[in-house]
Amino acid sequence: MEAYKKLLNNNKEWASAQIKEDPEYFARLAKLQSPEILWIGCSDSRVPADRITGTHPGEIFVHRNISNMVVPTDLNLLSVLQFAVEILKVRHVIVCGHQNCGGIAAAMSNKSFGLMDQWVWNIKNVYRIHRDEIDACTSEEEKRSLLTKLNVKEQVMNLAKTSIIQKAWKQRQLPHLHGWVYDVRDGIINPVFEMTAGTEVDPIFEISNI
């Protein structure tokens, strides 16, 4: 059977199992969503946000792209962030990177991968900021692992640079920002960085008139 057909069959089984367990399940969910969490993760098929966190439909609002980047010109990311923070009023934003990330490996190589080089450029900029620390690692695996962690940290700091987050911090002292790294080798998520609401932002990026 072709892979996509299996998905449709699985879906039918899942939907009927849900109804058997809780007849009001879909009726309730159809009315509204009120997730408390926005998840910004990698598109990698091995890092499904809900499966690895044991969450259910309705619990997390999700945005995924290559290497979980927060790029300030990305209208898609910014729209998701604005909707999540200002309308859904999420309490937490999680940036979750992962070990063995293809985008991280691409950023550390000198090969061209076509159009996506423009995206990887953003990851290379993170490498450039932390070049000394990363290059001091002895193995390639350690280097990639460190860039993965530092990239998550930089993306959390990028969130704090946005007017969306700075405005929300001023108005309602939320959301808190979290940087996590998921290890595809053992299934464990390790928190690596955190900015609770109101944490000082780099003065260069502080917006005084919001």
Enzyme catalytic residues: 42, 44, 46, 98, 101
Closest separation in Å from C-beta 112 to Co ion = 19
User: What's the CA gap between 48 and 130, in Å, rounded?
Assistant: 28
Residue 44 vs 154, nearer CB to Co ion: 44
Closest separation in Å from C-beta 8 to Co ion = 27
- Determine the length of the chain: 210
User: What's the CA gap between 137 and 199, in Å, rounded?
Assistant: 30
Closest separation in Å from C-beta 148 to Co ion = 9
Residue 152 vs 174, nearer CB to Co ion: 152
Question: Measuring CA to CA, which residue among 164, 141, 129, 207 is closest to residue 40?
Answer: 164
User: For binding to Co ion (CB under 5 A), which residues are involved?
Assistant: 42, 44, 101
Residue 42 vs 174, nearer CB to Co ion: 42
Question: Measuring CA to CA, which residue among 152, 150, 145, 158 is closest to residue 130?
Answer: 150
| Cα 159 off chain centre by | 11
CA distances (Å), origin 121, targets 24, 66, 148: 47, 12, 15
Pairing assessment for the beta strands 188-195 and 176-183 based on DSSP bridges: antiparallel
User: What's the CA gap between 18 and 50, in Å, rounded?
Assistant: 16
Residue 64 vs 176, nearer CB to Co ion: 64
Closest separation in Å from C-beta 71 to Co ion = 15
